């Protein structure tokens, strides 16, 4: 194409894309108008209005996120047609079924990602736009069927991976490759495991797969949403705008420390404690800890009923415990059975003594009347209540687990390892969260408390209805003074119950907010990133949250640092989804240049020789470097790196063990990427055993352009061949 022809095409494309934005703005105005009308109400019931308001709110969000890169490409068919591909779909005003912009997830858009010169998918040309805001800056064409033209297919991809990194992950929907696209659109109802080394785009693939599933299975998924689990808050911030930028907002983002509503846990455990808590064997410990709180009295407990004294002895308590456990109910719910048995024994004994000589069981009416009186006395007897609380207490997960951890005696009674002991029992760590979640089911609720709350709510509702009726009485108008053509009496507009509803606080939270706050919420699909870090207990939590067992699991066994994490996918998944999980791997590293990946691969060969590193698709032309410094030189050398990178476009980070000034730990950078990385004291990172080797591997593979290493002592063998920086500075 000549320069003149290119400029004419560019002007034409700019005009066309401007027209798409005009259509987007018109659609946005229409939806906002409908939303405001729905808020005012159009005669429908409150429930119908709420449904319509929620639907229009969701549609408005979908349109609002489409501004950046609304249209990113075009397909020219062999028959002469043109298909514009974008973030969302837009349709012709006159023909609602004729798309003027094709949603990237639509089946017809698949050729944009998979067409090659060898298999053009009935396409003649693929055009990719480079945009900034609403402006098309330029475009790249790939014409199929011409010798050698198919080799130009990576042009847009390489431009994307070589671009400087920003504060958050950029979706690469325009540059998804055929290997990735096949996984995104895989039709599998169970668990899909995507394994790939650093920079293979596995996280991007997983998020785009979610967007694709939400698009193709909207009706099945929209009422329950999707959960995305990531390793840490920084990672979730990093990826948090990808799905919204693709038009999806009904997604909940959590770390393993957030999975129990009301908790935001980030503290780590020692490797040994994490291993013990992550194993399914901890289930026996939890069950034993609960059973340990169901106790026999050390001495009989005297209870006064009428003018006699009866006792809760060990035999009575033992029978009550056996019956309560046999009920199969959770601990707090089984308390009612325990109380019922103890109450029965005490009242029977009291009746027998009180009625001695004048009352027999044949006189059932008198017997039951006396029992009723004694039951009332028991219900008001503080000593009886205290005894039941002592022998079968109402427990919360937090109370039970905190008291277990802080008591060597309780740990022994539960058969737990003393490595779980800590002075402050409620100093929660991330591995505690699945245990607390498990205890929610083991303990259950206290039904008496729930019923009391229901009674209070019902009394409040009746009071509100009565108040509303009084308001209506005050609003009644004298009909003789009314203009019948204009005015209506208040009772013709509202019933008291309807007016009372106005006082009820409505749940206006969107789906993501409601799901995140509800422990019993179940999701239609769950994405787990850095899944190699999850323990057996973590998987129990997630399987509870997704009864349909629909998962996209993303990980890299080579990067596992948790002592309780996965050593194989089969061991973790087969117990839950036997025969219902499939494995796919990504082998091409789009992020880490070959110069840096060679160093990381040498380390991988030492600590995990059976694992294959991904193959880098590009070079950066800058060799990694190392520099030995004294203790006095370390801080100035770090500051020099920071200042040097501050003058460049892009992002940078200093990674090191605790105590290194200005450094973050390797675990905090998992899943993140930076233009430049400085790794400090790699031998100290390695000193943490197998976990340290995985952390150093993570640190070495975060850079997209430049990698430097500072060390005071010797270097790890895999890094020994690194040269000095150019001059005295990082290259």
Q: 665-674 as b/e, with b when 16 or more CB fall inside 10 Å?
A: bbbbbbbbbb
CA separation for the pair 481, 300 (Å, rounded): 78
Residue that has been written with the tokens 């060990």 in this structure:
314
The number of beta carbons lying within 10 Å of the beta carbon of residue 448 is 14
Q: In the numeric block, which tokens belong to residue 122?
A: 């009935």
Burial of 138 (0-12, 13-18, 19+ CB in 10 A): exposed
Phi and psi (nearest 5°) for 710? -115, 135
CA separation for the pair 620, 592 (Å, rounded): 9
Phi and psi (nearest 5°) for 664? -105, 155
Using an 8 Å Cβ cutoff, are 697 and 603 in contact?
Answer: yes
Which pTM value belongs to this model?
A: 0.71
Among 334-338, 618-622, 676-680, the minimum mean pLDDT is found in 618-622
Using an 8 Å Cβ cutoff, are 205 and 180 in contact?
Answer: yes
Residue 726: pLDDT band (50, 70, 90) is low
Residue 111: pLDDT band (50, 70, 90) is confident
Beta strand pairing call for 615-616 and 588-589:
parallel
Phi and psi (nearest 5°) for 71? -125, 125
Measured distance between the N- and C-terminal CA atoms of the chain, rounded to whole angstroms? 39
* Residue-wise pLDDT tens digits, 447-481: 554 554 455 555 655 665 565 555 545 544 444 44
- Return the pLDDT at 362: 80
Helices assigned H by DSSP within 676-728: 682-686, 689-700
- Residue 490 reports pLDDT greater than 50: no
Residue 154: pLDDT band (50, 70, 90) is very low
Mean pLDDT of 60-73: 80
Using an 8 Å Cβ cutoff, are 625 and 725 in contact?
Answer: yes
Among 103-107, 146-150, 584-588, the minimum mean pLDDT is found in 146-150
- Residue 148 reports pLDDT greater than 50: no
Average pLDDT over the chain, rounded to an integer: 83
CA separation for the pair 670, 43 (Å, rounded): 53
Q: Which residue has the higher pLDDT, 107 or 177?
A: 107
* Residue-wise pLDDT tens digits, 320-352: 999 999 999 999 999 999 999 999 999 989 988
Q: Which residue has the higher pLDDT, 472 or 199?
A: 199
Q: Which of 582, 524, 615 is nearest to 194 (CA)?
A: 582
CA separation for the pair 533, 698 (Å, rounded): 13
Q: Which of 118, 117, 24 is nearest to 63 (CA)?
A: 24
Q: Which DSSP category does 60 fall into?
A: H
CA separation for the pair 312, 300 (Å, rounded): 5
Q: Which DSSP category does 700 fall into?
A: H
Q: Give the start-end residues of each E strand in 629-692.
A: 652-655, 674-680
* Residue-wise pLDDT tens digits, 365-421: 888 888 899 999 999 999 999 999 999 999 999 999 999 999 999 999 999 999 999
Using an 8 Å Cβ cutoff, are 589 and 615 in contact?
Answer: yes
- Residue 501 reports pLDDT greater than 50: no
């Amino acid at each position: 194409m000549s320069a003149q022809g290119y400029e004419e095409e560019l002007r034409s494309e700019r005009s066309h894309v401007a027209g798409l934005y005009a259509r987007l703005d018109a659609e946005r105005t229409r939806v906002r108008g409908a939303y405001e009308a729905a808020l005012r109400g159009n005669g429908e019931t409150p429930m119908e209005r709420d449904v319509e308001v929620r639907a229009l709110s969701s549609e408005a969000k979908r349109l609002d996120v489409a501004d950046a890169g609304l249209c990113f490409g075009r397909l020219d068919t062999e028959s002469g047609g043109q298909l514009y591909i974008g973030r969302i779909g837009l349709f012709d005003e006159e023909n609602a079924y004729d798309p003027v912009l094709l949603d990237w997830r639509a089946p017809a858009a698949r050729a944009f990602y998979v067409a090659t010169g060898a298999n053009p998918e009935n396409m003649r040309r693929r055009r990719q736009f480079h945009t900034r805001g609403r402006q098309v800056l330029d475009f790249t064409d790939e014409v199929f069927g011409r010798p050698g033209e198919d080799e130009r297919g990576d042009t847009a991809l390489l431009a994307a991976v070589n671009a400087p990194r920003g504060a958050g992950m950029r979706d690469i929907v325009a540059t998804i490759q055929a290997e990735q696209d096949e996984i995104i659109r895989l039709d599998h109802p169970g668990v899909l495991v995507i394994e790939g080394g650093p920079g293979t785009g596995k996280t991007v693939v997983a998020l785009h797969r979610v967007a694709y599933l939400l698009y193709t299975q909207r009706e099945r998924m929209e009422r329950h949403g999707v959960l995305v689990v990531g390793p840490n808050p920084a990672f979730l911030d990093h990826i948090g705008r990808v799905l919204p930028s693709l038009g999806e907002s009904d997604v909940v983002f959590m770390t393993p420390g957030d999975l129990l509503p009301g908790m935001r846990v980030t503290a780590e455990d020692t490797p040994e404690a994490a291993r013990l808590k992550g194993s399914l064997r901890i289930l026996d410990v939890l069950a034993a800890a609960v059973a340990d709180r169901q106790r026999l009295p050390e001495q009989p407990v005297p209870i006064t009923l009428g003018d006699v004294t009866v006792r809760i002895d060990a035999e009575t308590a033992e029978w009550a415990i056996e019956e309560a456990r046999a009920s199969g109910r959770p601990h707090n719910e089984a308390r009612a059975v325990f109380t019922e048995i103890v109450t029965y024994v005490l009242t029977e004994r009291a009746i027998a003594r009180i009625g001695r000589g004048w009352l027999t069981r044949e006189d059932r009416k008198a017997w039951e009347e006396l029992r009723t009186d004694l039951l009332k006395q028991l219900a008001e007897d503080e000593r009886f209540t205290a005894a039941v609380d002592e022998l079968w207490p109402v427990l919360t997960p937090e109370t039970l687990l905190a008291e277990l951890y802080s008591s060597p005696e309780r740990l022994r009674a539960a058969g737990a390892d003393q490595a779980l002991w800590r002075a402050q029992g409620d100093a929660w760590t991330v591995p505690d969260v699945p245990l607390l979640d498990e205890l929610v089911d083991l303990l259950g609720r206290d039904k008496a408390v729930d019923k009391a709350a229901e009674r209070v709510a019902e009394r409040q509702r009746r009071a509100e209805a009565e108040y509303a009726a009084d308001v209506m009485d005050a609003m009644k108008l004298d009909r003789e003074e009314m203009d019948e053509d204009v005015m209506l009496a208040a009772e013709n507009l509202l019933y008291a119950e309807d007016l009372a509803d106005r006082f009820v606080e409505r749940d206006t939270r969107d789906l993501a907010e409601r799901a995140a706050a509800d422990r019993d919420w179940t999701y239609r699909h769950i994405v787990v990133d850095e899944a190699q870090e999850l323990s057996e207990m973590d998987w129990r939590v997630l399987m509870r949250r997704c009864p349909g067992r629909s998962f996209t699991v993303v990980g890299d066994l080579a990067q596992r640092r948790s002592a309780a994490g996965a050593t194989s996918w089969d061991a973790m998944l087969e117990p839950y989804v036997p025969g219902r999980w499939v494995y796919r791997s990504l082998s091409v590293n789009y992020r880490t240049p070959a110069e840096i990946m060679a160093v990381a691969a040498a380390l991988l060969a030492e600590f995990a020789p059976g694992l294959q590193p991904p193959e880098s698709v590009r070079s950066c032309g800058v060799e990694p470097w190392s520099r030995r410094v004294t203790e006095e030189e370390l801080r100035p050398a770090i500051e020099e790196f920071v200042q040097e990178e501050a003058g460049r476009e892009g992002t940078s980070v200093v990674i090191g063990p605790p105590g290194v000034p200005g450094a973050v730990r390797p675990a905090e950078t998992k899943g993140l990427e930076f233009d430049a990385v400085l790794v400090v004291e790699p031998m100290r990172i390695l000193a943490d055993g197998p976990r340290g080797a995985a952390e150093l591997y993570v640190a070495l593979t975060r850079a997209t352009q430049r990698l430097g290493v500072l060390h005071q002592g010797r270097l790890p063998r895999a890094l020994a061949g690194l040269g000095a920086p150019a001059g005295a500075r990082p290259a």
